[in-house]
Every structure is written in structure tokens, then in C-alpha cells.
Amino acid sequence: MIMSSLNLKDLTLIIFIAFCVWSSSHETCCAREGKQWRRSKTVPATVLVKKPKLGHGRNQHGAAGRSLLSSAIFNVLDYGAKGDGRVDDTKAFGEAWAAACKVEASTLVVPAGSVFLVAPISFSGATCQSNIVFQLDGKIIAPTSSKHWGSGLLQWLEFTKLKGITIKGKGIIDGQGSVWWDDSGKMPSTKPTALRFYGSTGVTVTGITIQNSPQTHLKFDSCTTVQVSDINVSSPGDSPNTDGIHLQNSQDVVIYSTNLACGDDCVSIQTGCSNVYIHNVNCGPGHGISLGGLGKDNTKACVSNVTVRDVKIHDTLTGVRIKTWQGGSGSVRGIMFSNIQVSEVKTPIMIDQFYCDKGKCKNETSAVAVSGIDYVNIRGTFTAKPVHFACSDSVPCTGVSLTTIELEAAQGSGFYEPFCWETYGELKTATVPPIDCLRSGKPSSKSVQSNHDSC
């Protein structure tokens, strides 16, 4: 009995000690879990940004109730924007951008249901984090008073030196350009581009509408890796110099699923551009899709590896065009125009090395060399001339090939024969109408190769 009693006491003691040990361990674990839980609630350093200023009226509650965890979203209304289309919201946009700029992958929101009057502004990215999204669902309008423009500016909304910038949404950028187009003297003679990107990489523009720009609607200058899709550009066909999309010194550009209606080139491709792919685009009214004018004022121009395909062009001055100034140098090469449907286009196919938009241009010997230009499956109607190839006497066009060209005069239009001057290449199939003026082989001049080498 004594042994049994001892054993029972020992057993009770062992159980008691074990329970204490277990309780102690459980409290320690809970404490550790508590520390871990608190650590997980800590706001990452990247979103510890200055709290937005309170807006007015309905915006105060939203701004005050915002938590730091959601501060990667920056709504311009929270920074004092009125969104009534009358009060100048430029300062609010600038402050919202300054805050968003500090946060990687942040989103600046321009909400639907409001109209924002914004004066010329530059969204600079020199010190910005990367991959910022500009969510445009509302409408931004340009001021129509000359006091906002000084003696004239080259752009209205500008994004500069950014890495990974996206503008997307269903919103509208309206340049209210009619006050500029009549040249009444009320506005400066220098007309701004509506939306410009400069010195940026990884640029995406999708979904938005840009309309009634004083001049060019959308410009990319010195940018790489650019994607434009599902946008609408709209201005009257008689609005002067209102290019749809303008590319300059930019590489690796894709433009697709886009509607472009304007008063100048639907797409204008200038010097320094390469690896440009344009497809599934509707163009018209306007001046068509153009490379150039290149080589103006005796400059060197280099454009290469451009593909334009699966495009519809209607009611335009030209269809697919290459235009260069006399006296320039450099080269245009490796160009493909494929599956182009034209309707009521004045001149569907054009190379013009005597381009001149002045009253008079003097004859010069030097020229931008044009070579390796392929036209494949271009069909539809023209109102003046089906094909116009006017190439330099000293630097003729070479390597021009035509396959499945079927162009007919539109009803009621006069008919003019295809025109060729100093143009060498190959007819790979019969054409309608016959393009008998194209020369076979290559010219004897060596100047073409030397101009190629300059690029």
C-alpha cells in the first residue's frame, strides 16, 4: 500500500509538473504568435507616404477614412480637384502625381463622372518609382484662354523619363482645339501636342479617347517598348496638322486595335524609329499612314523595320506613304505594307522624295535613300491616282516589290495611270491597273549604298 501510495503521489507530481511545463510553453508560443501577428500588420515602407490633403464636400469622408494600406491609390479628388470643368484643377493633379510618384506600382485615379480643367503640366519621372498607372476614367479638358499658354508651348500633358508608365481607362482627353485651328490670333502660333511621352521605357496607352487636339494628339519621343491599343483619336478632317500618333526616335513600338480620325497623318513615323508594328487600325479621315517627311533642312534620317498590316484606310489624302525632303541623307529600309484595304483614297500608294509643304523648295542632289519596300495585297478604290513613285535622280528607290495590287477608280473619279520615276524593283504578280513604269534590276549609281551606311 505504501509503494502504491508513493507511486500515486509520484504520478500526480509528474502530471502536475508536465501541466506547468505545457502551460508555460503555450504562453510563450502565444506571445510569439502575437509578435508575429503584430509584425505582419506593419505597413511596408514603400507605402508610408504623406497623407493626402482633405478634399471638399463628399471627398472629406473618403479621404479621412482611407487607411495607409490602401494609400497606393491616389484619387485627384482627394487632393482638392473640383472636377466641375470650370475651376483649374492643375495643382491638384500635380500634388496627386507627386504622392503617387513616390510609390512603386501606384495608381493615380481620375474618376468617372467629373470633368477636370487642367492647364499645361509635366508629370516628371526623374525621381519617380516605376510602373505607375494613370487610371483615366473621367474627362480632362484643356484651357481655351491664351493666358494659360504664354507665348506658346509644344505640349499640354507630358510624361517624361519614366520606367513603366500606363495610361488606361475609358476616359477622354479633350484638347478643345477649335480655338487654335482658325488662326484668328487669339491663341499663340505654337500649337501644343495633347499627350506626349518623352524619354520613357515600358509605355502603355490603352482604352482612352484623345480628341480635338490643337496639333498632334499622341506623341512618343525617344521612347522604347511602347504599346498602344484600343484607343480612339478624333478630330475633324480639316483640322490642320492634327496627326493621330507621332513617333520620333522611338523603338519597339506596337500600335493595334485603334481608330484614328484626324486632319493629318493617322500615324506619322519620323527619324530614329525602328521595329514598329502597326496592325488592325482604322484610319480616316486624315492623310493616311506616313513615314516622314524625312531629311528636312539637310538632316540625316534613319528609319528601319516597319510593318503596317491589316489596316483599313478611308477618305484620306494618301494610303501608305513615304515622304522625304530633297537634300537629306540617311535611309528608309525594311518596310512592309500588307493587307491594306483602301476606300475613296486620293493616292493609295506613294513614295515622294520631292516632298515640300512650303510654297517652293529648291532642287538638291542629296536624298534619303529608300530601299526594301514591300507592298502586298493592297486593294480598294482611289479618287486621283493609284500609285505615285517619285524617287531621286541621284539616289533612286531600290528593292520596291508589289504583290496582289488591285486598285480601281472610285465611281465618278477621273483615272490617271500609275506614275514611276527612278524606281527600281519587281512586280511579283500582275497588278490592277498594270504598273508598267517600275524599272527592273538596280541603278548604276553607288550613292544608295553610301547613304545606307550613314545610318
Q: Is residue 367 part of a domain?
A: yes
Q: 75 has which bridge partners?
A: 109
Q: Is residue 33 part of a domain?
A: no
Cβ within 8 Å of residue 119, ≥6 positions away: 88, 90, 142, 143, 148
Q: Is residue 338 part of a domain?
A: yes
Cβ-based neighbour number of residue 394 at 10 Å: 17
Residue type, 156: W
Distance CA 424, CA 120 (A): 48
Distance CA 180, CA 192 (A): 10
Q: Is residue 284 part of a domain?
A: yes
CA distances from 97 to 108, 154, 201, 233, 347 (A): 7, 21, 18, 25, 45
Q: 118 has which bridge partners?
A: none
pLDDT tens string 368-394: 999 999 999 999 999 999 999 999 999
- What pLDDT does residue 451 have? 61
pTM: 0.84
Q: Is residue 84 part of a domain?
A: no
Q: 266 has which bridge partners?
A: none
Is the alpha carbon torsion for 147, 148, 150, 154 positive or negative? negative
- Furthest CA-CA distance within the chain: 129
pLDDT tens string 249-294: 999 999 999 999 999 999 999 999 999 999 999 999 999 999 999 9
Distance CA 352, CA 130 (A): 42
- 26 tagged catalytic: no
Is the alpha carbon torsion for 27, 31, 37, 41 positive or negative? positive
How much is the mean pLDDT over the chain? Answer: 87
Domain count, the chain: 1
Give yes or no for residue 66 having a pLDDT over 70: no
What domain range includes position 289?
Answer: 123-133+152-181+190-432
- What pLDDT does residue 357 have? 87
> What is the phi/psi pair of residue 429, to 5°?
-140, 170
pLDDT tens string 14-62: 444 444 444 444 443 333 333 333 223 322 323 333 344 433 333 333 3
Q: Is residue 164 part of a domain?
A: yes
One DSSP character per residue, 7-41 reads HHHHHHHHHHHHHHHHHHHHHHHHHHHHHHHHHHT
Q: Is residue 345 part of a domain?
A: yes
Sheet holding 267-269, edge to edge: 121-124, 155-160, 193-198, 218-221, 245-248, 267-269, 289-294, 318-324, 347-352, 387-390, 419-421
- 264 tagged catalytic: yes
- Of 78, 174, 264, 374, the catalytic one is 264
The owner of cell 511602347 is 226
Q: Is residue 447 part of a domain?
A: no
pLDDT tens string 113-152: 999 999 999 999 989 999 999 999 999 999 999 999 999 9
Give yes or no for residue 91 having a pLDDT over 60: yes
pLDDT band for position 432 (50/70/90)? very high
The CATH number assigned to the domain holding 342 equals: 2.160.20.10
Distance CA 39, CA 100 (A): 25
| Contact between 455 and 331 (Cβ < 8 Å) | yes
- Of 217, 287, 314, 388, the catalytic one is 287
SS3 272: coil
